[in-house]
Chain A
């Protein structure tokens, strides 16, 4: 492959990226939250409290201005502002290509980038499992995530094995319809990750608005199921779908993870605020 075709392909692949980034930025901007402090003294820049000077404090830590106001020496303490690392993954399987008018995958990617943008603004480090480079708290990291989303496209449903620091957050966008979801959750929990599952649901999957003689086909594998009267199985299906959702949510709860559901016909802002709350509130 010569350079021209490579470049051409790269252009084609990343053609969707800038608009998506813009849209994600736009979405993130609508959720305005400041840098979230740790609510305790630590390494940081913003003022937390003055404390009486103790023997274990370095003399350079003395705040002379505050000390000059009284007889005692004071040390200025700052709030602890430790940056978190948030890892992302989104299901890229063919199942996620489903959806009208918005594909589940498109919505997942939008939420992912918007959340990442929001977190970067909050000073967190963000990364995408499988992307090149380490997580970082910069726009560069966003671009790298974007490239990872649009670049190699292995159609993988589950996050691959990767080295992630303990205590990192992990946000997983998927419909969780594939096999092996719970095993993966177990594995990640063992790695010491704090997980957040986001179920992306197409309205048709939840409501099952079908009628008449239909042949339902899986996105992959060529399996199919014919129903003479699709409307007859609607109630049963809905019950199963709800049960499936609950199963995922319970598995998450057992691990101390959170699980939220997002229908693609709902506004993405709501999901974003919820997610940010879940991560930022910790």
Chain B
């Protein structure tokens, strides 16, 4: 009876109608079904027969039962029954709904809304207080309609909720005898207990928590082959697999991997390996099926991975920590794929950024290549070094002085210099300069008027630290210090990484002025609570570039992309060391959402009742004798529908099988006409031709396929054999289009009018040709001509003069070629293959062999030579269809060979 206790009725009074059931029973019992009708000619003889028993036959008990059940079902349905009770609210005062709608609640948000609807329904006319934790609360008491509307509009937000604020808001209200419900997301935010205590102080509290809480995805770590992913979950629990996907900018799934949570652990690691190109298309990574903002990690779009080429003057230094290459590589690794090698080798690999560490003079041959690379939009980044002090080539932003400048060394009076703050025009504008960055040695520029424009970074004394110059569409950037910490501590700082990252953006075509504007990062797009990308809301504020790393997620800074086009920084909810925890014990049991749900049974009961009544009507018809003819047909129809439904799936599989069969090897194909004798001949003919092809040519066809023009895909078959027969049915417009498309896309159809097989005449009057005309009426046929003597069809494999099949003589037609000019090649074939070949010699019959390999038909007038010629025509035809104009070109081969000088 557990089920019954779950039942509740919206209109219980209607159940009183069940009282009429016995009355109905009595009424149905005394009203027998209408008698069956029988036509009977000798009715006159039946007249005035003493009818010994006129008492009506009883209504059969099962019919009675059926009708009673139908009536009972309808009465129950009208009583609006519901499975599951709506909660009984304690108290008499307002209903207080505290709703967690932070990102963690986005998972199974529907359940939450159902719970809200149920609670509001249970509240009836009592006033309602809605307290969402993550979005501003509507002020004061709401009436039921208003509360329902606001609750419907409530959405999960992409930031964590603030329970303290909600508790504070509630504390300020004075409520008499409230019923308090807390629809939580089940996640701990450090204030659960305080919240529960605050709520309990106000009145009786019921807490709901989801059975399965939201999972999160930690920031992605890139490595050389792809992304390392870490998913976290609030509770240890059982082992579980979750799927994570790399998603492209347009929402396309690029790759999917499975992360495995072992039992009792709450971290799962996984890796998605992607080629560089695809990695660069990745806009976000997310846990599939979670649909929360916390399960999404956006990627910085400025960090599209570039292919950076690195050339160091000194290879293989003994101490790697002192080598230039090491520092550049480490700094670039997260953002770029770093290749090492010689300049020309790297340029040949199409790097977008070329880095030269301490290369004073680019060797002569490479010089031109590098300057062309830069002019075409490449970015050349050079670092100074000992070699450069000896003079540099022309590919530097500013003229350099020979020799360096020492600061703060034993020989120098000056102290090591700090970099000056970046100017507004510098592309590094907005990056913060750590105090520990000092420069102890640099290369100086010759003073010039352009220097001020070209210096992107200076030392505190105004000497240039980084200079740049545009050349063509590309840039040349010079660090006046080494790439290693030999000359300054810059390579040891995070600033170095940020600077290189911005320079990489240059390679993406972002103008430096945009980069200079990046002191504050305006929002570009944001996530909603479900983790979907949307345009930024009006209240979203830009973030100062230097604060970006420290920015907390809040309504003013929702997760999303900030920055300028091409250099967007991603702000994600979860940071590298975040964890998820389940809610602390609040001193009472947590209800789960699903239990709350009431399910309306009315539609199901109504449907069942209506179904039974329909059955009753059918049975009544049956009993009255209407069924014999109509019923049988109806049953047959129903059975046919069911059978079709059953057959649809295997049918589809069969189609696939045919497609596979046809696609995996090139096969000869014939059009299935539906006439058993014709189709058999076609199949046997193509089998025979297949044997000949196998024996004589390098083409080894598998057994032939019969295609149904209406159903099958024709595109697998280069050649279709189509015998004509007057019994064939006209083609539907759709099929005509399909055939036209087939011919237009390079397919060839051999129409065989089978003149002498079908009748005694050849030519226009023959049944085959009339059928051809009838079938191809709506077909876009090219202009035809009899096969000219120099047509490639006569030379594709054998040299042939005529094309006998089962019959000899008869004209064969192909698409008309442009007229031949004197001095033309000995073979002409046009550009493509003739889409149509028409003839009437019944070739299939000549080729046909039976299972034992014996020929099926005699050839007329006869002789092995005729059959041989028939096969030769077949081989030529297949070669023609398969190779197209290749064979036409073959006649030029000697001339070509000669021209190539052998």
- Option from A175, A210, A223, A233 in Cβ contact (under 8 Å) with B49: A233
- B38 in contact with A237 (CB, 8 Å): no
What are the nearest 4 A-B pairs in CB distance? A95-B41, A216-B40, A218-B43, A215-B35
B13-57 interface code vs A (CB 8 A; 1 in, 0 out)? 000000000000000000010011111111111110111111111
User: Chain B residues with Cβ under 8 A from A80's Cβ?
Assistant: none
- B41 in contact with A175 (CB, 8 Å): yes
- Option from A175, A225, A226, A229 in Cβ contact (under 8 Å) with B47: A225
- A212 in contact with B54 (CB, 8 Å): no
Of the A-B pairs whose beta carbons lie under 8 Å apart in the complex, a sample of 6, sorted by A's number, is A216-B38, A218-B41, A227-B46, A228-B57, A229-B53, A241-B45
- B49 in contact with A236 (CB, 8 Å): yes
- B52 in contact with A217 (CB, 8 Å): no
Interface of B, secondary structure class, is loop
- A223 in contact with B43 (CB, 8 Å): yes
- A217 in contact with B45 (CB, 8 Å): no
- B40 in contact with A217 (CB, 8 Å): yes
B196 to chain A: closest CB distance in Å? Answer: 74
B624 to chain A: closest CB distance in Å? Answer: 9
Give Cα distance in the complex from A111 to B349, angstroms.
100
- A217 in contact with B51 (CB, 8 Å): no
Given contacts A226-B35, A236-B49, A237-B49, contact A216 B43 (CB under 8 A): yes
Given contacts A228-B55, A233-B46, contact A215 B41 (CB under 8 A): no
User: Chain B residues with Cβ under 8 A from A241's Cβ?
Assistant: 42, 45
User: Chain B residues with Cβ under 8 A from A232's Cβ?
Assistant: 51-53
20 extra A-B contacts, CB within 8 A, seeds A214-B35, A215-B38, A241-B45 = A175-B41, A175-B42, A177-B45, A204-B40, A205-B41, A210-B38, A213-B36, A215-B37, A216-B38, A217-B39, A218-B40, A218-B43, A224-B37, A227-B46, A228-B53, A232-B53, A233-B52, A236-B50, A237-B45, A237-B49
User: Chain B residues with Cβ under 8 A from A139's Cβ?
Assistant: none
Residue A219, interface by CB 8 Å: yes
- B45 in contact with A213 (CB, 8 Å): no
Which of B32, B46, B49, B53 has the most chain A CB within a 10 Å cutoff?
B46
Considering the complex, give the chain B residue whose CB is closest to the CB of A225: B46
B58 to chain A: closest CB distance in Å? Answer: 10
In the complex, which residues 196-253 of chain A have their Cβ closer than 8 Å to any Cβ of chain B?
Answer: 202, 204-205, 210, 212-219, 223-229, 232-233, 236-237, 240-241, 244
Q: Count how many chain B residues have C-beta atoms less than 8 Å from C-beta atoms of the other chain.
A: 23
- B41 in contact with A213 (CB, 8 Å): no
Give Cα distance in the complex from A157 to B35, angstroms.
30
Considering the complex, give the chain B residue whose CB is closest to the CB of A232: B52
Given contacts A177-B41, A213-B36, A233-B46, contact A227 B51 (CB under 8 A): yes
User: Chain A residues with Cβ under 8 A from B56's Cβ?
Assistant: 213, 228
In the complex, which residues 156-208 of chain A have their Cβ closer than 8 Å to any Cβ of chain B?
Answer: 175, 177, 202, 204-205
User: Chain B residues with Cβ under 8 A from A218's Cβ?
Assistant: 39-41, 43-44
Considering the complex, give the chain B residue whose CB is closest to the CB of A202: B41
Given contacts A232-B53, A233-B51, A236-B50, contact A225 B35 (CB under 8 A): no
Residue A98, interface by CB 8 Å: yes
User: Chain A residues with Cβ under 8 A from B51's Cβ?
Assistant: 227-228, 232-233
Which of A228, A229, A244 has the most chain B CB within a 10 Å cutoff?
A228
User: Chain A residues with Cβ under 8 A from B54's Cβ?
Assistant: 227-228
In the complex, which residues 94-133 of chain A have their Cβ closer than 8 Å to any Cβ of chain B?
Answer: 95-96, 98
Interface residues on A, range: 20 to 34
User: Chain B residues with Cβ under 8 A from A214's Cβ?
Assistant: 35-38
Q: Which residues of A contact B (CB under 8 A)?
A: 95-96, 98, 175, 177, 202, 204-205, 210, 212-219, 223-229, 232-233, 236-237, 240-241, 244
- Option from A177, A202, A212 in Cβ contact (under 8 Å) with B57: A212
Give Cα distance in the complex from A212 to B32, angstroms.
13
Q: Which residues of B contact A (CB under 8 A)?
A: 32, 35-47, 49-57
User: Chain A residues with Cβ under 8 A from B57's Cβ?
Assistant: 212-213, 228
User: Chain B residues with Cβ under 8 A from A217's Cβ?
Assistant: 37-40, 43
Give Cα distance in the complex from A223 to B40, angstroms.
10
User: Chain A residues with Cβ under 8 A from B40's Cβ?
Assistant: 98, 204-205, 216-218
B28 to chain A: closest CB distance in Å? Answer: 16
- A205 in contact with B46 (CB, 8 Å): no
Give Cα distance in the complex from A98 to B40, angstroms.
8
Give Cα distance in the complex from A240 to B50, angstroms.
13
Considering the complex, give the chain A residue whose CB is closest to the CB of B46: A225
B21 to chain A: closest CB distance in Å? Answer: 26
User: Chain B residues with Cβ under 8 A from A202's Cβ?
Assistant: 41
Give Cα distance in the complex from A213 to B49, angstroms.
15
User: Chain B residues with Cβ under 8 A from A216's Cβ?
Assistant: 38-40, 43, 46
Give Cα distance in the complex from A267 to B50, angstroms.
35
Considering the complex, give the chain B residue whose CB is closest to the CB of A239: B45
- Option from A205, A213, A219, A233 in Cβ contact (under 8 Å) with B35: A213
Considering the complex, give the chain B residue whose CB is closest to the CB of A216: B40
B831 to chain A: closest CB distance in Å? Answer: 53
B43 to chain A: closest CB distance in Å? Answer: 4
B543 to chain A: closest CB distance in Å? Answer: 88
B431 to chain A: closest CB distance in Å? Answer: 96
- B45 in contact with A219 (CB, 8 Å): no
User: Chain B residues with Cβ under 8 A from A228's Cβ?
Assistant: 51, 53-57
A221 to chain B: closest CB distance in Å? Answer: 9
Which of B37, B40, B54, B56 has the most chain A CB within a 10 Å cutoff?
B40
Give Cα distance in the complex from A175 to B32, angstroms.
35
User: Chain A residues with Cβ under 8 A from B37's Cβ?
Assistant: 214-215, 217, 224
User: Chain A residues with Cβ under 8 A from B44's Cβ?
Assistant: 177, 218
User: Chain B residues with Cβ under 8 A from A177's Cβ?
Assistant: 41-42, 44-45
User: Chain A residues with Cβ under 8 A from B46's Cβ?
Assistant: 216, 225, 227, 233, 237
Give Cα distance in the complex from A217 to B46, angstroms.
10
User: Chain A residues with Cβ under 8 A from B50's Cβ?
Assistant: 233, 236
Which of B37, B41, B47, B50 has the most chain A CB within a 10 Å cutoff?
B41
User: Chain A residues with Cβ under 8 A from B55's Cβ?
Assistant: 228
B56 to chain A: closest CB distance in Å? Answer: 6
User: Chain A residues with Cβ under 8 A from B39's Cβ?
Assistant: 98, 216-219
Give Cα distance in the complex from A223 to B42, angstroms.
11
User: Chain B residues with Cβ under 8 A from A215's Cβ?
Assistant: 35-38
A99 to chain B: closest CB distance in Å? Answer: 9
B534 to chain A: closest CB distance in Å? Answer: 70
User: Chain A residues with Cβ under 8 A from B35's Cβ?
Assistant: 213-215, 226
A245 to chain B: closest CB distance in Å? Answer: 11
User: Chain A residues with Cβ under 8 A from B52's Cβ?
Assistant: 229, 232-233
Considering the complex, give the chain A residue whose CB is closest to the CB of B54: A228
- A219 in contact with B32 (CB, 8 Å): no
Given contacts A212-B57, A213-B57, contact A225 B43 (CB under 8 A): yes
Considering the complex, give the chain A residue whose CB is closest to the CB of B41: A95
Give Cα distance in the complex from A204 to B40, angstroms.
9
Considering the complex, give the chain B residue whose CB is closest to the CB of A93: B41
Which of B36, B42, B45, B52 has the most chain A CB within a 10 Å cutoff?
B42
User: Chain B residues with Cβ under 8 A from A233's Cβ?
Assistant: 46, 49-52
Considering the complex, give the chain A residue whose CB is closest to the CB of B56: A228
Considering the complex, give the chain A residue whose CB is closest to the CB of B45: A240
User: Chain B residues with Cβ under 8 A from A204's Cβ?
Assistant: 40
Considering the complex, give the chain B residue whose CB is closest to the CB of A240: B45
Give Cα distance in the complex from A98 to B57, angstroms.
27
- B36 in contact with A212 (CB, 8 Å): yes
B289 to chain A: closest CB distance in Å? Answer: 62
Considering the complex, give the chain B residue whose CB is closest to the CB of A230: B38
User: Chain A residues with Cβ under 8 A from B41's Cβ?
Assistant: 95-96, 98, 175, 177, 202, 205, 218-219
Considering the complex, give the chain B residue whose CB is closest to the CB of A220: B41
Give Cα distance in the complex from A213 to B32, angstroms.
10
User: Chain A residues with Cβ under 8 A from B36's Cβ?
Assistant: 212-215
User: Chain A residues with Cβ under 8 A from B43's Cβ?
Assistant: 216-218, 223-225
A103 to chain B: closest CB distance in Å? Answer: 11
Give Cα distance in the complex from A224 to B44, angstroms.
10
User: Chain B residues with Cβ under 8 A from A175's Cβ?
Assistant: 41-42
Give Cα distance in the complex from A237 to B49, angstroms.
8
